[in-house]
Amino acid sequence: MISASHAVDLLRQLEQWNSPEILVVGDLILDQYIFGDAERLSPEAPVPVIRRRGEKTQVGGAANVAVFLAALGAKPVLVGVCGADTQYRRLCELCRAAGIDTSAIVSLDDRPTSCKTRIIGLAQHRHQQQMLRLDDEQTDPISDARVRELEGVLEPLIARAAVICIEDYNKGLLDHRLCQFIIKQAREAGKIVLVDPALIKDYSRYAGAHAVTPNRTEAELASGLLIESVNDEAPMLATALINAHHFDSCILTLDRQGMYLQHKNGPGTYHPTRPRQVYDVTGAGDMVLAMLAMAVANGISWQDAVDLGNVAGGLEVERFGCVPIDRDEISHELQTMIGLDHNKAPSLEKLVALLAASRRNGKTIVFTNGVFDVLHAGHVGYLQYARQQGDILVVGVNSDASVRAIKGPSRPINNLDDRLAVLAGLESVSYVVSFSDATPEALIQTLTPDVLVKGADYADKPVVGRQWVQEHGGRVVLAPFLPGRSSSATIERAAGLPAQ
């Protein structure tokens, strides 16, 4: 599994991603879903009767990879063939709505658009269950003339793309000639080719690709080897595919065991995944391919790309059907791995990464600071007011040494760890972080909050960090105080001294 420190590093890399153009070549499929209630068996035969409730249409095959890429922030260009029919028009319509360039899709008069219709039943208001699938397709190889036409379409697109994905469902498009044309052109242009292979024995059509991403069943069929023990035999299986077909790398997807990455030259690495509630594996391979392509296009190492692919694929299997996973969901999952959903006192390094991810999600960051020695109702009201100014409230807390410098040698009454723990227990507080300087200026510059909150008693005083926050587009808010409440007064009353 991904460690907390590695998750922080992945979050930082994710925040720096741009939107590369990625070319997706492969079999295009239109997925249709018919939903209904399965409440009884037919009197005519021992089969369920489905009372129709609704339907949904979405893209599948290589088009699904393109949709996933668009959700991750890429600019996908889709190449494939469809029939000259209403399904083709619907597929293009859905792709364009997702932000995909469909100008290179070719429609043919001699074959239908591949279409899969699934009957989904729901019994006693429980989970949806696929009950039947009807396929309308033609899988004969396309003609040589069409292959030449596609080669002409592909050549300039390959030169322009950051990464090329080959998504093969063995529907007649990606024969040996077309795959080798793509791989050769990409190699000459210095572009990376990722292949999600079909369930076939012969991988020679993919020879020379940079990386191939078979699942366990596909890899066993293509290599002729069976995996009894993942730890012992995955390297042998991956190495066999690399040596047989001159791949630079092989990335095996191993279900609940995660993924295994093997390079042509060098040791392999296992990438375990955390246990998940698997609801539907449909689309998991497409999501992994999309994440790998997006990561590599942004200069991420293969090891980190596989870790991100693990995260994306894991999220996908928790959904029913093919549901795009966007970068915000990936960021949130990495935050959960860091463990800070349950820890409000991260290191400063982790806090910076978390706030960057939250900003990307459109969240407003609020900052305030203080000693917070003996917490009272005034503090609680003040922090509630501060939280209302945005989505996430970060509280900077003076270290023990800085409190002594401000308040004298008898303070603080409560040490830093105790003060942080009490603040973290408040619902209004998102994160707490300590600082040792005389003022929080350096901390404010590190975090650059959108809103800086101070008490109303600063109306006629300089507010530390005001200039920095305002120069970076933020604002300063003065919060009202609850009269008669202060830590000093509370301490004096406890000591039997008259309040000052």
Contact call for residues 355 and 340 (beta carbons, < 8 A) = no
Terminal Cα distance for the chain, rounded: 56
Environment class of 99 (CB within 10 Å of its CB; exposed 0-12, middle 13-18, buried 19+)? middle
Query: Torsion angle of alpha carbons 339, 343, 346, 351, nearest 10°?
Result: 70
Q: In the annotation, is 286 catalytic?
A: yes
Instruction: Choose, from 101, 196, 280, 286, the residue flagged as catalytic.
Output: 286
Which pair of structure tokens corresponds to residue 293? 């392509």
Amino acid (1-letter code) at residue 207: A
User: Residue 440: CB partners within 8 Å, gap ≥ 6?
Assistant: 369, 396, 464, 465
Residues of the chain by 3-state class (helix, strand, coil), percent to 5: 40, 25, 35
What distance in Å separates the CA atoms of residue 36 and residue 39, rounded to the nearest whole number?
9
445: left (phi over 0), alpha (psi -120 to 50) or beta: alpha
From the centroid of its chain, how far is CA 440?
34
> Shortest CA distance to 268 belongs to which of 312, 302, 235, 308?
235
What does the longest C-alpha to C-alpha distance in the chain come to?
97
Residue 96: count other Cβ atoms within 10 Å of its Cβ.
Answer: 12
DSSP structure class, residue 255:
G
Q: At what angle do helices 62-71 and 284-297 cross, to 10 degrees?
A: 50
Which pair of structure tokens corresponds to residue 122? 């729901």
What distance in Å separates the CA atoms of residue 115 and residue 118, rounded to the nearest whole number?
10
Residue length, the chain? 500
The continuous run of DSSP H or E covering 10 comes out as helix 4-15
What distance in Å separates the CA atoms of residue 37 and residue 53, rounded to the nearest whole number?
7
Contact call for residues 250 and 268 (beta carbons, < 8 A) = no
Which pair of structure tokens corresponds to residue 471? 């120069």
What distance in Å separates the CA atoms of residue 79 and residue 149, rounded to the nearest whole number?
12
Peptide bond into 412 cis (omega under 30): yes
Query: Torsion angle of alpha carbons 382, 385, 387, 390, nearest 10°?
Result: -140
Q: Which residues are catalytic?
A: 286
